[in-house]
């Protein structure tokens, strides 16, 4: 039985779904959770329900706001006293920024952005996309422990059944060390919707949207189905959408349950960011567009006619 530590990141009053996805996958091992922000009762309940034996809240000077140096120093200090075999985090902005630093501190192996994994006894074996998703690599970790793993959000999915843990809550202090770059303030974006990397449903528009104002029809569809709106690089470069909305090799990598591509041709750079979506729906006037080779469902036609009809029909159903 491996001893596993999972980093939980806050999302509103709860925790990010990727944390629960990881917990649901590592059942059968000794699992603990570490957090930097005081969890709500709802968060504690969720973490315990998904298998956390202990929930550690760690505090220290300079840890009120995220900083890669401060969080890395604090976690390395905490991990050294815990004798853990594995450290898991979501492949979020913070996870991608911080976990490689931790692996370097411990001179240990790391598997990044895995989309699935299994344990054979205490031995980890994971799957991760490579070369813009053209192939899948099997990764194993050896050498000194703990090993470090980041998991792509939405890739594992939440388990149908959970194995509850004790959820014992423990507070402790750690040393955050010298922090050279300090984050003074984090300003929340205007949108209340989930970030693209965490969204379960995404509606994306391409260059065929023709104008920034035309993204309103995608916003309306997104409101109906509870989705987040994304965009291709072509749409972003044309000024129709902000870079924060970009899906693709030079944007964000997403793995939603449903991805609706509107007026997106399906360039390889875009496919690299969304090809692990569970179900892909494509709407395009070009029947030979590459996106149709990856789509589970395709509609050949004008998105400006199809999307409003689709929205009205979905309103009736939902």
pLDDT value at position 289? Answer: 95
Residue located via tokens 């220290």: 60
Which CATH topology does 201-317 take? Rossmann fold (3.40.50)
**Does 3-173 carry CATH code 3.40.50.1370?**
no
pLDDT value at position 91? Answer: 94
List the domain boundaries for the chain.
3-173, 201-317
Provide the pairing of β-strand 30-35 with 279-284: unpaired
Number of C-beta neighbours around residue 138 at 10 A: 9
pLDDT value at position 142? Answer: 87
pLDDT value at position 62? Answer: 82
pLDDT value at position 190? Answer: 62
Q: Please give the Cα distance from 63 to 58 (Å, whole number).
A: 9
pLDDT tens figures, 222-234 = 999 999 999 999 9
pLDDT value at position 257? Answer: 94
pLDDT value at position 231? Answer: 97
pLDDT value at position 164? Answer: 86
Half-sphere CA count of 46, side-chain side, radius 13 A: 21
pLDDT value at position 52? Answer: 94
pLDDT value at position 189? Answer: 67
Number of C-beta neighbours around residue 155 at 10 A: 23
Per the prediction, the chain carries an average pLDDT of: 92
Residue located via tokens 């070009």: 286
Residues of the chain with pLDDT under 70: 189-192
């Amino acid at each position: 039985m491996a001893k596993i530590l999972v980093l939980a990141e806050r999302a509103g009053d709860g925790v990010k779904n990727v944390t629960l996805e990881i917990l649901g996958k590592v059942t059968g091992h000794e699992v603990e959770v570490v957090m930097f922000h005081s969890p709500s009762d709802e968060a504690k309940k969720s973490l315990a329900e998904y298998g956390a034996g202990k929930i550690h809240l760690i505090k220290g000077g300079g840890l009120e706001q995220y900083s890669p140096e401060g969080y890395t120093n604090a976690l390395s200090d905490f991990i050294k006293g815990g004798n853990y075999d594995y450290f898991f985090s979501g492949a979020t902005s913070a996870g991608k920024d911080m976990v490689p630093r931790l692996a370097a501190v411990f001179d240990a192996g790391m598997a990044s952005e895995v989309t699935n994994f299994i344990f054979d006894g205490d031995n980890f074996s994971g799957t991760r996309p490579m070369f813009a998703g053209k192939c899948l690599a099997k990764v194993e970790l050896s050498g000194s422990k703990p090993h470090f793993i980041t998991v792509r959000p939405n890739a594992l999915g939440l388990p149908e059944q959970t194995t509850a843990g004790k959820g014992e809550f423990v507070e402790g202090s750690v040393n955050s060390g010298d922090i050279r770059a300090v984050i003074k303030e984090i300003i929340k974006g205007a949108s209340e919707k989930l970030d693209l990397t965490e969204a379960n449903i995404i509606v994306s528009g391409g260059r065929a949207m023709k104008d920034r104002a035309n993204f309103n029809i995608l916003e309306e569809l997104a409101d109906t189905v509870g989705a987040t709106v994304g965009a291709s690089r072509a749409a972003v470069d044309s000024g129709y959408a902000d870079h924060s909305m970009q899906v693709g090799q030079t944007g964000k990598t997403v793995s939603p349950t449903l991805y609706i591509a509107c007026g997106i041709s399906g360039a390889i750079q875009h496919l690299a960011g969304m090809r692990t979506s569970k179900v892909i729906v494509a709407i395009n006037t070009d029947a030979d567009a590459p996106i149709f080779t990856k789509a589970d469902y395709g509609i050949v036609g004008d998105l400006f006619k199809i999307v409003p009809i689709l929205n009205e029909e979905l309103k009736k159903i939902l």
